[in-house]
A and B are shown apart, each in its own frame.
Chain A
Amino acid sequence: GENVEQHPSTLSVQEGDSAVIKCTYSDSASNYFPWYKQELGKRPQLIIDIRSNVGEKKDQRIAVTLNKTAKHFSLHITETQPEDSAVYFCAASKVNNDMRFGAGTRLTVKP
């Protein structure tokens, strides 16, 4: 089955700096790559996603890039704010939506 690896497991940045989280996947049939944000005690919520026919997608301060050849994708957050502090999960899924998640990155933005 699909295996998703995520790095780093923890990330601490100063407010205003950029944060980058990287994921790799193993199954070349995966074609959908969402990113979820989970605040303490809450459910995961989608923040951005990318499909395999696109190399990059941006939504305000958040961007995701995908390299299908290398089987890796990354989340970029610019101008970080304290409210960006949370756990972020990457995921990969195939056509039947069998979605596998990375282990998560705990992002701390220090004021």
Chain B
Amino acid sequence: NAGVTQTPKFQVLKTGQSMTLQCAQDMNHEYMSWYRQDPGMGLRLIHYSVGAGITDQGEVPNGYNVSRSTTEDFPLRLLSAAPSQTSVYFCASSFLSTGLGSPLHFGNGTRLTVT
């Protein structure tokens, strides 16, 4: 199993450009999520999904869109990039246990710079 695969690893955008960060998992996990990591601020939840066709907002959703058309894929779209979106982005997935949380499996991250 490849686990959680994120592409690209690095990306530089100009302000106003759009792009999609890709995330795929091969573990048949129901739950998928996107986090951004900034120095001193830990991991902040952007959006998450508990299954195909279902998405919800996390702590910092503004400026980002997601969709979940299949169990395996959960792309994150930046509609109009801003310098404040410079960050490291992690995709994570897990099973959904009945009544209890489950450990997240993280991808290797995408380092995004917006100039």
Size range of the interface on B? 20 to 34
B-facing residues in A10-36 (Cβ within 8 Å): 31-32, 34
A34: contacting residue among B40, B42, B99, B103, CB under 8 A: B103
Residues of A within 8 A of B33 (CB): 97, 99
Residues of B within 8 A of A32 (CB): 100-102
A101: contacting residue among B43, B50, B94, B100, CB under 8 A: B43
Alpha-carbon gap, A94 to B33, bound state (A): 14
Is A9 an interface residue, CB under 8 A from the partner? Answer: yes
Alpha-carbon gap, A44 to B109, bound state (A): 10
Taking a contact as CB atoms under 8 Å apart, the answer to whether B94 and A97 are in contact is yes
Taken residue by residue from 16 to 30, chain B's Cβ proximity to chain A (1 for < 8 Å, 0 otherwise) reads as: 000000000000000
Stretch from A45-53, A60-68, A78-86 at the B interface? A45-53
Alpha-carbon gap, A34 to B50, bound state (A): 19
Taking a contact as CB atoms under 8 Å apart, the answer to whether B41 and A98 are in contact is no
Size range of the interface on A? 20 to 34
A-facing residues in B1-53 (Cβ within 8 Å): 31, 33, 35, 40-45, 48, 50
Taking a contact as CB atoms under 8 Å apart, the answer to whether A97 and B101 are in contact is yes
Taking a contact as CB atoms under 8 Å apart, the answer to whether B103 and A46 are in contact is yes
Given A96-B96, A97-B94, 4 other A-B contacts at CB below 8 A?
A43-B109, A44-B104, A97-B33, A99-B33
Chain A residues with CB under 8 Å of chain B are 1, 6, 9, 31-32, 34, 42-46, 49, 51, 89, 91, 93-104
Chain B residues with CB under 8 Å of chain A are 31, 33, 35, 40-45, 48, 50, 56, 58-59, 90, 94, 96, 99-104, 106-109
